[in-house]
Amino acid sequence: MKHLAILISLIILKSCGSSNDIASLNKSTDMITNEIIKGTYVLEQLDTIEVTNDKLTLEFDSKTNRVSGFAGCNRFFGTYTTNGNTISFSELGATRMICQEEVNKKEHLFFQTMTKVNAFELSNGELSLKKNETVLISATKNKTSQLRQAETKINILYRASTRGFFEAIWIEGNVLKYTKDRNLKETSIYKLSDEQLSDLMSLYNDLDVESIPSIEPPSKTFQYDAAAMATLTIVLNEKEYVSNGFDHGNPPKPFALFVGKLLSVKETMVKQ
């Protein structure tokens, strides 16, 4: 399934509003939280709909003020700003994948709701995104994400090879290593920028690492030398998780976005 990144414009409605709305927002901003929005939150409520089983996420990088996540069908990305307990989102974009109509409707509601948010409350990992005093989105801090973010570094290897082609990409912490040498003697080393590492970590946090070895590839033309065979290896808590072989350029859907971003970052590094 092909997908294309498109820009989703946020419509920021600027109006005088009623005096009640302004007073309500001022009251909300008086309740300053001591917690900082960061990490991954799993949505429990969207508008008036319970969405716990949909696995919608919001991922905040407090260092770069970037926001990303999963909206039901597509991943999205953008920026956010906070001031006290006010919050606004901008420059939102998303991948564009074809999903069932019901999923698309819920995703559309998600983006519509995000345009209305102007305040937040955060307490003990419980996040409420609000319009004035009305809660529009309720979400809970993802404990798995917290554990991964607490790690000192990530350790990932992507490897693809065929008779006339070889490449290997390692990520260790904030360092990317790349080689085309099968003997691994000639290796280029690059330092990831904060933005690149943040983007990779956002996708990494979405992975169900333990399921990776059991995921079947969507195609196996590498068996006939029609494509390079690729594998993804992740080391987590001193345990190695290795994927089944898949066609280079056609990774399994559960980690396709992560592999695509990894290859994109590598291409950027090599061209520098």
Q: What is the pLDDT of residues 26-39, one digit of tens each?
A: 444 444 455 788 88
End of a domain among 142, 159, 194? Answer: 142
**128: three-class secondary structure by DSSP:** strand
CATH number at residue 119: 2.40.128.270
209: left (phi over 0), alpha (psi -120 to 50) or beta: alpha
- Band of pLDDT at residue 230, cut at 50, 70 and 90: very high
187 and 126 fall within a common domain:
no
pTM for the structure as a whole: 0.51
Average pLDDT, the chain: 82
CATH number at residue 264: 3.30.1560.10
End of a domain among 142, 172, 206? Answer: 142
Nearest to 201 by CA among 158, 148, 162, 242: 148
**268: three-class secondary structure by DSSP:** helix
H or E segment to which residue 257 belongs: helix 256-271
Q: What is the pLDDT of residues 168-200, one digit of tens each?
A: 999 988 899 999 999 888 999 999 887 888 888
* Mean pLDDT of the region 54-69: 88
Query: Which tokens in the block code for residue 270?
Result: 């090599």
Using DSSP, how many helices (H) and how many strands (E) does the chain show?
5, 17
138 and 181 fall within a common domain:
no
End of a domain among 95, 120, 142? Answer: 142
Cβ distance 203 to 257 under 8 Å?
yes
% of the chain exceeding 90 in pLDDT:
49
57 and 26 fall within a common domain:
yes
Q: Which range marks the domain in which residue 235 is found? A: 151-271
DSSP string spanning 42-97?
EEEEETTEE-GGGT-EEEEETTTTEEEEE-SSSEEEEEEEEETTEEEEEEEEE---
Beta strand 126-131 with 49-50 is unpaired
- The Cα 104–Cα 110 span in angstroms is 10
Half-sphere exposure of 107 (CA within 13 A, CB side): 21
- The Cα 42–Cα 125 span in angstroms is 10
- The Cα 53–Cα 43 span in angstroms is 9
30 and 107 fall within a common domain:
yes
Domain count, the chain: 2
Q: What is the pLDDT of residues 126-166, one digit of tens each?
A: 999 999 999 999 999 875 554 444 444 568 999 999 998 99
Residue 36 has a CB neighbour count (10 Å cut-off) of: 10
Least confident interval from 117-121, 129-133, 153-157, 225-229 = 153-157
Backbone φ, ψ for residue 128 (5° rounding)? -120, 125
Residue 1 within a domain: no
